[in-house]
Structure 1
Amino acid sequence: MKIAFLGDSLTYAGRWGDFFPNHEVYNYGVPGEKSNEILMRLPAVLDQKNDLLFLMMGVNDLGEGIEPSAIIENFSRLILKVKNETGSKLVIQSLLPVNFEMFPSSVFDSAKIRDINSLLKSLCEEEKVTFVNLYPSFSTYSNELMKEYTYDGLHLNDAGYRVWKNCLQSENLI
């Protein structure tokens, strides 16, 4: 099976080929990208005719102050393009929490992250696209990224990526 991972630095740093050695795996993560930039790159990814496409995007949008409604609109546009232009199965992955003690920020907001995830889940149900809610596996009771899964409060360490891989496997997606 030909599998693509599309997203920002969180996707980019994943060792997806090592995690899923029995598949042909491509990593289309680009550090710092926002959802509109990922949309612009989408045609080149779709040209690769992947069987399965995993997508995570939106946290950099929040970092730039982009409103959740605009982020969801970009997800919607991406879903339509994938549905209309390929036979690829699309899997939308939730945004992950941020650890504000390690990554102090006035622009990231755990309530907005949870709101986007809720809107994403509804959009995926409406569009009949698979949604994987990774958030609970990474979140503390105070809605922060668990320290043992991050090295800076935003990005994941090896333990965090193993949790992500296990989430995808437990959903029987790979």
Structure 2
Amino acid sequence: MAFGAVALVALIVIVIAQMLPAQSPDVSNGPNQVKSDGAVVDGALVKASPDPAAASITFDEAIGGILADQRTFGEKGVVLLGDSIVARSGVYEMCAKPILLAGIPGSRVRDWVDLGPDIFAQVEPELVVFALGINDSVAAFNTDPDKWASDYKALAKAALPSRLAFVSIMPIDKSRPGAAALSEEMRERLNAKLKTIAEETGGLLIDPLPTAKGLTLDGVHFNDAGQKQWVTNLSAACQAPNQPKSDRAPIL
């Protein structure tokens, strides 16, 4: 199913969901309240270890999970948007606020251009953290950096006036099989574009990991140690600057 069509279906489902009785969010009562299967890392509540199963869910399953989570997501929370790295991260809460974990395995920036704005318009987050781009670094995709930057900037601007944070495309370990298809040159080119996007949108740029060596399972997806380091660095998003006050643009 095309992302544009799914975005339309998603919006309809979201509107219907808003009419149903909301349930209490399944998050802790504060930044230091730990779930039985979780741990606090620099104010972010995470699972004790990454969830490998979350990296293999289908697109439709991921969309369904995001829509279900929106039913219990209050306004002025945090949206963490990305690919399988986000989907399997297990982050429950950041900045003493609940998180809508919007991670779709295999997704690229262009896949969020339609769906992302619908999510932002419905939940009106206080902070949006973008963690995208690793799949755009696949050599075979031959990503156009300029088009990629244009799509990413449009996605980010759709999130305004929410505060914005951007996670750089994480380092890869080319000695591991999971990173074999990725281009280090493309990753660096896209990260250079992302730095400009952050500057132009007033967002905060975050370096996710100093290196991938010893911090991943397959060269891309982090292990327990990598997850801890990733979440520690991710918590810097709480310092993202406020955006100028303005009304959120309607989604047409």
Instruction: Tell me, yes or no, whether TM beats 0.5.
Output: yes
How far 1:82 moved relative to its partner? 1.7
AA paired with 1:138?
A: P
Q: Contact 1:117 / 1:133 at 8 angstroms: preserved in 2?
A: no
**CA RMSD, aligned part only?**
2.2
Please, which of 168, 180, 184 is the counterpart of residue 94 of structure 1? 168
Unaligned runs of 5+ in 1: 140-144
- Which residue is equivalent to 1:67? 144
Structure 2 match to 1:121: 195
Q: Return the alpha-carbon distance in structure 2 between the equivalents of residues 171 and 80 of structure 1.
A: 17
Match of 1:160 in 2: 226
Partner of 2:124: 49
| Paired-residue identity, % | 20
- Tell me the matched-pair count: 162
2:83 maps to which residue?
8
Distance between the aligned counterparts of 1:122 and 1:21, measured in 2? 25
- Secondary structure at 1:138 match in 2: coil
Distance 1:90 1:170, change over 3 A: closer
**Shift, 1:5, TM fit:** 0.5
Q: Is the 8 A contact 1:103 1:154 kept in 2?
A: no
Q: Larger Rg: 1 or 2?
A: 2
Give the conservation status (yes or no) of the 8 Å contact 1:28–1:45: no
Deviation at 1:100, TM superposition (A): 1.0
User: Equivalent residue for 1:130?
Assistant: 204
Aligned-pair distance for 1:173? 3.2
State the alpha-carbon separation in 2 of the partners of residues 5 and 115 from structure 1: 23
Query: Could you tell me how far 1:15 is from its partner in structure 2?
Result: 1.3
Report the CA distance shift for 1:106/1:162 in structure 2 as closer, same or farther (over 3 A).
Answer: closer
Unaligned runs of 5+ in 2: 1-75, 241-252
